[in-house]
């Protein structure tokens, strides 16, 4: 038998990429590759890349620069780039980076084993074709169980929304929903291996199944997942506000397994900006959906994404974003300065703000959110929360888990509790976590 070879994967970008990296580990096991944490020890290094904003892209290129020295060392190392930059750049990337061995796009994961075999024989190669939806579903690679308590499950891939600023539809392709039978079977198998919480994953999960006359819609899928024995908690990400249906809102009222958290990015609080962004909803419509969600599940925690400095954003538009934040009361918010992305509609719009002005808007928004997050975290002090224990904390003798509302709680207890739901009294609150006491 061959001695095992070492695989180092560095993942950039969103949860879809994290998920795809886990799939790569599974796919390369058959080729006797075993994961390592050290690029120096690796025989194969893969970068799973993101180009959502210019900064994300720059990070990948500087990492590629750093890895050059390993390629030049005595040991033979193969270097590959996958993910969204690979999809976008394809052959160009292989030409531009002479020490790169393989480039595989977001629709070419299933080809990875063959590509690595060819690279081992000295070939340099690129695959970045888009697949049609049927082929794509038939070739959908699965990842194997890893013994964890929580697990992500892809339910759909790609995006058809074409928000004017966003590169995702160009690098992930058209929206396609996995067959519900496949999704449910995968989750049943996970439950048997000890998984207690699943997060249904996709760019826009609540448009799940809408293209099919035979498949359930997203609310229907949630109800079926909730029937699976052993799965105690269900989460999903990401949702698009325009596709939050009354049926989905009803799930929050009726499915106890569905966690009290929704990530529902608004992107802006200004109707003018929302329309320029091609988001398909108004501020009022967004707030109405938030209100309906809070009515269905009063303790629901809402998180979101916000973009500042979109072309044409005035001080007034910006202030509407701040006032929306206060009205919603986000538990947490990811916020970004607008970044012009190739091919997107908004890249053609004239920039109306200086870099400094945009950064100041972002800083102010983030300070406001930090304060609101900390205040909200403090409201949990003195309450009892059900926590699904996920593992041991970095700090000794503590374990950690999350509340149904997705707050991280650290508390002193035995690690044998991992995988169970326990009741914890919250005794202190910080910016990013809560401190608890086991009851
Ligand atoms: N599918 C998800 C989000 C995908 S990208 C959704 O629709 O909600 C994650 C976040 O990055 C977006 O919600 C948006 O806030 C931000 N983003 C995307 N493109 C961007 C750009 N060009 N400039 C700045 N932020 C951007
Ligand atoms: Fe991008 Fe909009 Fe699709 Fe989200 S819904 S991935 S922001 S195009
Ligand atoms: Fe980035 Fe691609 Fe995700 S661009 S955010 S890794 S879909």
User: What's the rounded Cα separation, in Å, for the pair 47 and 113?
Assistant: 15
**pTM of this structure:** 0.96
Which residue of 243, 265, 330, 341 sits with most ligand 1 atoms within 8 Å of its CB, as the best mutation to test the pocket? Answer: 265
Calculate mean pLDDT across residues 256-285.
98
**Structure confidence by residue, pLDDT tens digits, 179-195:** 999 999 999 999 999 99
DSSP 317-333: HHHHHHHHHHHHT-SEE
Ligand 3 atom with minimal separation from the 16 CA: 3
Task: Say yes or no to pLDDT of 83 above 60.
Answer: yes
Nearest ligand 3 atom to the CA of 17 is 6
Q: How far is the CA of 128 from the centre of ligand 3 (A)?
A: 15
Q: What is the pLDDT of residue 1?
A: 47
Q: How far is CA 299 from CA 229, 252, 271, 309, 376, in A?
A: 25, 10, 28, 32, 12
d(CA 263, CA 415): 30
Question: Comparing C-alpha atoms, which of 420, 386, 418 is closest to residue 259?
Answer: 386
**Ligand that comes closest to the CA of residue 83:** 3
Q: Ligand 2, atom 1: nearest CA belongs to which residue?
A: 166
What is the structure's pLDDT at 2?
53
CA nearest ligand 3 atom 7, residue: 168
* Amino acid 141: pLDDT: 85
Answer positive or negative: Cα dihedral of 129, 134, 136, 139: negative
Counting from 1 in the atom list of ligand 1, the atom nearest the Cα of 335 is: 15
**Mutation probe of ligand 2 site: the residue of 16, 50, 163 with most atoms within 8 A of C-beta:** 163
Residue located nearest, by CA, to atom 9 of ligand 1: 305
**Distance, C-alpha 70 to centroid of its chain:** 30
Average pLDDT over residues 58-84: 94
pLDDT score, position 52: 98
pLDDT of residue 393: 85
Interval 128-153 mean pLDDT: 89
Average pLDDT of the chain? 96
338-395 pLDDT tens trace:
999 999 999 999 988 999 999 999 999 999 999 999 999 999 999 999 999 999 987 7
Q: Does 139 have pLDDT greater than 90?
A: no
Residue 423 has pLDDT above 70, yes or no: yes
Residue percentage of the chain with pLDDT more than 90? 93
- In the chain the domains, ranked by start, together with CATH numbers, are 5-129 (3.40.50.12160), 134-377 (3.80.30.20), 384-438 (2.40.50.140)
**CA 163 – ligand 2 centroid, Å:** 6
């Amino acid at each position: 038998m061959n001695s095992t070879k070492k695989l180092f994967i560095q993942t950039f970008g969103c949860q879809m990429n994290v998920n795809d990296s886990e799939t790569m580990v599974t796919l390369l096991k058959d080729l006797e590759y075993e994961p390592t944490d050290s690029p120096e020890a690796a025989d194969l290094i893969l970068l799973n890349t993101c180009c959502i904003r210019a900064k994300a892209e720059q990070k990948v290129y500087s990492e590629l620069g750093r890895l050059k020295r390993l390629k030049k060392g005595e040991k033979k190392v193969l270097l590959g780039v996958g993910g969204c930059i690979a999809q976008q750049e394809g052959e160009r990337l292989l030409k531009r980076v002479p020490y790169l061995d393989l480039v595989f796009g977001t629709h070419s994961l299933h080809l990875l084993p063959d590509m690595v075999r060819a690279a081992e024989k000295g070939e340099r190669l690129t695959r970045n074709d888009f697949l049609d939806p049927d082929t794509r579903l038939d070739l959908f690679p699965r990842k194997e169980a890893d013994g964890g308590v929580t697990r992500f499950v892809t339910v759909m891939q790609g995006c058809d929304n074409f928000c004017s600023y966003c590169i995702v539809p160009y690098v992930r392709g058209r929206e396609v929903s996995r067959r519900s039978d496949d999704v449910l079977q995968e989750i049943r198998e996970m439950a048997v291996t000890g998984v207690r919480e699943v997060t249904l994953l996709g760019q826009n999960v609540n448009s799940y199944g809408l293209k099919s006359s035979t498949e359930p819609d997203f609310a229907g899928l949630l109800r079926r997942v909730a029937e699976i024995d052993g799965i105690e908690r269900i989460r999903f990400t990401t949702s698009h506000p325009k596709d939050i249906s009354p049926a989905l809102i009803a799930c929050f009222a009726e499915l106890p397994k569905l966690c009290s958290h929704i990530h529902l990015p608004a992107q802006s609080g200004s109707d003018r900006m929302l329309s320029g962004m091609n988001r398909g909803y108004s501020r009022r419509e967004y707030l109405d959906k938030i209100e309906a969600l809070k009515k269905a599940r009063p303790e629901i925690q809402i998180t979101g994404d916000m973009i500042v400095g979109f072309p044409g954003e005035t001080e007034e538009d910006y202030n509407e974003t701040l006032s929306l934040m206060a009205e919603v009361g986000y538990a947490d918010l990811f916020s970004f300065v607008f970044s012009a992305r190739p091919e997107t509609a908004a890249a053609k719009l004239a920039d109306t703000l200086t870099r400094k002005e945009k950064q100041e808007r972002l800083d102010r928004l983030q300070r406001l959110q930090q304060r609101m997050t900390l205040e909200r975290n403090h409201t949990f002090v003195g309450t009892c929360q059900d926590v699904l224990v996920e593992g041991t904390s970095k700090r000794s003798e503590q374990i950690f888990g999350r509340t149904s509302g997705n707050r991280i709680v650290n508390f002193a207890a035995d690690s044998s509790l991992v995988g169970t739901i326990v009741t914890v009294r919250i005794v202190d609150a910080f910016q990013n976590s809560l401190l608890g006491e086991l009851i």
